[in-house]
Structures are given as structure tokens and as C-alpha cells.
Chain A
Amino acid sequence: MKAMLSAFAAAIIIAVGASLILEEVGLSSENTASGPAVRLD
């Protein structure tokens, strides 16, 4: 069961990590599909 639970944890860590990394390297949709003339918030 340890392998199963650590896989579940890894899936969550990878998801959060992917989000942070993509945001960090400037690949958020805000960065790629919008310009300075667009107000999103």
C-alpha cells in the first residue's frame, strides 16, 4: 500500500509543481495569450 499512497502523493506534488514551474517560466495563458493592453483582474 505504501507504493500506492506515495504515488497519490506524487501525483499531487507533480500537479502543484507543474503549475508553479509553468507560471515561473512565463507559460501561463495570461503571459502567452494576452498583452499589456488587456486587463485581466
Chain B
Amino acid sequence: MIRPFLALVVSLTLLMGNAFAQEAAAPSVDRSATGGAQTLEDILARQSGEKIDDTFRRTATGDPDSAAGITEQLGTLGGSSDPELWRALRYGSADITVSSGDELVATVLMQDGGMWWLEFREGPLMKFAGYALVGTIALLALFFLVRGRVRIDGEITGRTIERFKAVERFGHWLLASSFIVLGLTGLITLFGRKFLIPTFGHEAFSTVAVASKWVHNNISWAFMIALVMIFVMWVIHNLPDRTDIKWLLKGGGLFGGGHPPAKKFNAGQKLIFWSVIVLGTSISLTGLSLLFPFELPMFAATFEKLNATGLPQMLGFGELSTLLAPHEEMQYAQLWHALVSFVLMAIIIAHIYIGSIGMEGAFDAMGSGEVEEQWAREHHSLWVEEVKAKEGDAPKAASPAE
């Protein structure tokens, strides 16, 4: 799990670096030969992707105060020439009124913030996704080769214990099925342009993309409902306690040394639970922000709170920008949504592995809900004791007189 997290940190560093490094000031340039307009050097520097100080263009948007009188020549231009007006539009300082959308959307006609987002999305984000998913699968394959399937050590009793009620299994599978569908349709959306269009062509991909967008947008509600269900049903069993330390110190018994005692959920499962809750909530919030574009901006406010903690400054990101255009909010929402999703996907792949081929007897817990008693004694010994004690306390059903 360390690798995906490291990749996330590196990716975030790149993301923040890209977004905020633009503040760096360039040395002043002599533009007397062009009368203050951009020089050949400026154009060449911009084309080669160097950072340039564009204040001289950004601020050259005319001067309404020195406009000619309205009856004089060019007076109707209001002190701004056409190029100056275009510059104001290009740098987002023109006074804009458009017929569609509203003041949330239509205040910026041209924004170049889309380029770093596009480059990040098609570069580091895709690489991160690849490393996180393929890396996790490779690590699990290696683990399977080295450790093999975790077998039930003791003798099978043939007796079973109810581990999860029907409603718990329903909640789990609602979350699981929606998450897998969301993951696959999300991957189609992210990798479509680069990999699916060259393979299947534009026509075929268009159909797939429209369908996967519909499915992704709408099945998200099943995920959010199930997330709430899971939290309500299981939070009480997932509060950390002393047994977790012992469990973690013994590596869950995965590498030998006997099975450490555990309650209904062991420390590993608790980590999965809290990952799903925390990351799932983050994905849901950014997802809602993407579902209702421009209505739920959350990054400027989050950055403000982060700045107040001093954490970004301490980590070298400097003060995060709290003045974000609506489009930038959407770009951050999309990137964060995808990044966190890939971290959760990697965790869930490991969860699927250990719940299926990785461990004998584990799938029954979510399949039929009934687990082999010996399996339960090995992996959740304290929970079995609790269940047995309750069974002992429970009043026996009255039997009719014979």
C-alpha cells in the first residue's frame, strides 16, 4: 500500500507545483523596440513552455478614463482598442454578460487553466492510475505465490455461525457492485481518449462513452446510499481498541506465528472500513460537485482551511490559492475525485483478493452469511466467544410438553 500513497504524494506535488509555480516572477525585459508589445523572445519563450511574466499584456486592456469624448473619433470604443478588448477577454478581466448559464459559469470566456489540468489528467494521473492498479495486482500475485492461500489450520467442524445478517450483506453488495461499476466506467472515461478511441474508433467509443457516463452518474446514488448504510451498521464494530495493536504487531498472522485474537472486525478490516468511509465520502463529495457543475464549489474553501492550519506552507506548497475560477473548482474536483478513487480501488482490489481466493472460508461471510466455526475461531476468536456467550444467555425456546 506504500507505493500508491507515495505516488499520490508525488502526483499531488506535481499538481500543486504546476498550479502555483506560475506565480514566479521573470526578470524584466526591454520591449522598447515593439513599443511595449510582446517581443519575438516573449513569443518564443511562451511557445517553448517557459514561464513568462505576462503582466505587460494582462494589464494592457485600455484606459476608459482617457477615452475620447463620445462624439469624437473612436469615442464609442470607450478608451479600449479592439486588441485591448480581446486581451481583457483572454485574461478574464472583461465585463462579461452571456445568454446561457449564470454568473457562476459565465464570468470567464477564455481560461488557460485548462491546459495544466489536461496535461496532468493525461500524464501523471494516468500513470498514477496504472501504477496503483497494476502495482497492487502484481503485489497480490507475488503475495499469492509466496504465501499461497490462507487455509483453515484446524479441523473443520461442519458447524456454522451467522457472521452477517441479510441486510448487512445487502448493504455490502450494494456498495461493492456500484463501486466496481463506477470504477470500470470511470476508467473508460479517463482512458477512453488515449486508448479506446485508437483501438475501437470514434464511433464505437462515442456509444460506449455516452452509456458509461449515464451509468457512472446514476449508479453513484446507489454507492452513496450504501456508504451511509455500511457506516451506520458497522461503525460501532470498527472503533479502534487494544486488540488492534496486537493484531497489527503480529501482521494479522498472515506470515505465520499463529492467529492474533480479534473481535467482529480485525485491525486490517477496520483499516479497510475507515478507508472506504473516508475516501468514499471524499469521492462522493467531489462526485456531487461534478454531478451538479458549478453549484457545489468546495476547493477554495478547503484550501482556505488548509492554509489556516499552515500545513501546505510547511510541506512547501506555499499558500494555496483561495481565489478559484468556477472552472478551476471543477478541474480540482475531477482530479481529486480520480486520484482518491484510484487509491480506494487499489485498497479494494486487495480486499477482494483476501475475501475470495486469498483466504479459505472468507467468502462465505458475505456469500451465505454463515461461516465455518473453526474459521471464525481462528480469525475472530473474541467475536466467537461473544456470540457463544450470547447464545448461552439467550432464553431457550419453550418446547411443547411431550
A residues within 8 Å of B by Cβ? 1-4, 6-8, 10-12, 14-19, 27, 29, 32-35, 37-38
Residues of A within 8 A of B220 (CB): 18
Which of A4, A12, A16, A38 is B173 in contact with, Cβ under 8 Å? A4
Which of B99, B100, B181 is A33 in contact with, Cβ under 8 Å? B100
Whether a CB of chain A sits under 8 angstroms from the CB of B367 is yes
Contact with A along B322-362 (1 / 0, CB 8 A): 00000000000000000000000000000000000000000
Whether a CB of chain A sits under 8 angstroms from the CB of B80 is no
Judged by DSSP, the binding face of A is helix
For the side of the interface on B, what is the size category? 20 to 34
Would A15 and B169 be within 8 Å (CB), given that A3-B369, A7-B174 are in contact? no
Would A10 and B222 be within 8 Å (CB), given that A19-B214, A33-B293 are in contact? yes
Which of A1, A2, A35 is B99 in contact with, Cβ under 8 Å? A35
CB-based contact A37/B99 at 8 Å:
yes
Would A38 and B170 be within 8 Å (CB), given that A15-B219, A15-B221 are in contact? no
CB-based contact A18/B173 at 8 Å:
no
Whether a CB of chain A sits under 8 angstroms from the CB of B225 is yes
User: In chain A, what residue has the closest Cβ to B166?
Assistant: A3
Would A11 and B101 be within 8 Å (CB), given that A1-B367, A4-B366 are in contact? no
Q: How far is the CA of A2 from the CA of B214 in the complex (A)?
A: 27
CB-based contact A10/B170 at 8 Å:
yes
Q: How far is the CA of A37 from the CA of B214 in the complex (A)?
A: 25
User: In chain A, what residue has the closest Cβ to B369?
Assistant: A3
Q: How far is the CA of A6 from the CA of B215 in the complex (A)?
A: 18
Shortest A35–chain B CB gap in Å is 4
CB-based contact B99/A4 at 8 Å:
no
A to B CB contacts below 8 Å, 14 in the list: A1-B367, A2-B166, A3-B173, A3-B369, A4-B366, A7-B176, A11-B181, A11-B222, A15-B218, A16-B218, A33-B100, A34-B100, A35-B99, A37-B99
Whether a CB of chain A sits under 8 angstroms from the CB of B137 is no
CB-based contact A14/B222 at 8 Å:
yes
Residues of B within 8 A of A8 (CB): 173, 177
CB-based contact B225/A14 at 8 Å:
yes
Q: How far is the CA of A12 from the CA of B219 in the complex (A)?
A: 7
Shortest A27–chain B CB gap in Å is 7
B residues within 8 Å of A by Cβ? 99-101, 105, 166-167, 169-174, 176-178, 181, 214-215, 217-222, 225-226, 292-293, 366-369
Select the residue from A34, A35, A38 with max chain B CB neighbours within 10 A. A35
Residues of B within 8 A of A1 (CB): 367-368
Q: How far is the CA of A34 from the CA of B221 in the complex (A)?
A: 24
Would A33 and B170 be within 8 Å (CB), given that A11-B178, A14-B222 are in contact? no
User: In chain B, what residue has the closest Cβ to A13?
Assistant: B222
Q: How far is the CA of A19 from the CA of B181 in the complex (A)?
A: 16
- In addition to A11-B177, A18-B220, 9 A-B residue pairs with Cβ atoms within 8 Å of each other are A1-B368, A4-B366, A7-B226, A8-B177, A10-B174, A11-B222, A14-B225, A16-B218, A19-B218
Q: How far is the CA of A13 from the CA of B253 in the complex (A)?
A: 41
CB-based contact A14/B221 at 8 Å:
yes
Select the residue from A11, A19, A34, A37 with max chain B CB neighbours within 10 A. A11
Would A15 and B100 be within 8 Å (CB), given that A4-B366, A7-B170, A7-B174 are in contact? no
Shortest B109–chain A CB gap in Å is 16
Residues of A within 8 A of B222 (CB): 10-11, 14-15
